[in-house]
Amino acid sequence: MNQKKAVVLLSGGIDSATAAAIAIDRGFELSALVFLYGQKHRVEIEAAKRLIAFFKIKSHALIEIPTGIFSSALTDASRGVPRDREPGGDIPDTYVPARNILFLSYALAFAESSGAVSIFIGATAVDYSGYPDCRPEFFRAFQEMADLGTKAGTSGKGIRIETPLISLSKAGIIRAGTRLGVDYSLTHSCYDPGPDGTACGSCDSCRIRKKGFLEAGVADPTRYRSS
């Protein structure tokens, strides 16, 4: 019997690495989509490539979103990445308009075209930046829309959007991935890394990552430039 196929959205961070490990553990043959969208932390692409090698993913594509589609503190040179922000409150300036919607749509098109039955995305709604496109109700709505808008969906064999981390804390994600043998030294999280790839330690993404390793009781392999 052929191995069932899935598409994973791979950013190079902890969450997508863990989602990939879970998909592999569940027996899927993976294709990975990696996106270059003008992010200042494009060093994460190198992390995604390391993870593709680590997981031995044969089918992978780097997709470039043209400059000017997104406007965000993560992409615009004129806007700084917020630091030392307390969690909660408003949607932060690092929000990238419709990013998960666009990435999932690519995954859906590719999945239906290539016969994959599931899409794995490492979104979490626990230790996260408050982005609307990381919430369970968004993923439910995306699933419904995908089922109505694709041939696979209307034939009752809709492509499943899988969010295995949605209810896990960052520590829970790190523990789950560690059990599955994920090498987190290959991952990158910082929104505003130094030229040598070291992490700033104070953006939302660094703060959430640090706290996650601490709470998980797992040694943090990140190279921080402020420590």
Write out the residues near a copy of itself by the rule CB under 8 A.
61, 63-66, 68-72, 91, 95-102, 104-106, 108-110, 112-114, 132-133, 135, 137-138, 141-142, 144-146, 148-154
CB 58 to a copy of itself: min, Å: 14
Q: Closer to a copy of itself at the Cβ: 35 or 184?
A: 35
CB 173 to a copy of itself: min, Å: 21
CB 59 within 8 A of CB 110: no
Q: Closer to a copy of itself at the Cβ: 71 or 226?
A: 71
Q: Closer to a copy of itself at the Cβ: 6 or 17?
A: 6
CB 141 to a copy of itself: min, Å: 4
CB 213 to a copy of itself: min, Å: 29
CB 84 within 8 A of CB 204: no
Tokens of 226: 């402020």
Q: Closer to a copy of itself at the Cβ: 69 or 117?
A: 69
The Cα 105–Cα 88 span in angstroms is: 28
Distances (CA, A) of 52 to 19, 49, 55, 127, 139: 13, 5, 5, 25, 25
> What is the sign, positive or negative, of the torsion defined by CA atoms of 74, 45, 43, 38?
negative
CB 214 to a copy of itself: min, Å: 30
Q: Closer to a copy of itself at the Cβ: 141 or 214?
A: 141
> What is the sign, positive or negative, of the torsion defined by CA atoms of 106, 108, 114, 119?
positive
Alpha helices in 63-203 (DSSP H): 99-114, 136-149, 151-154, 170-179
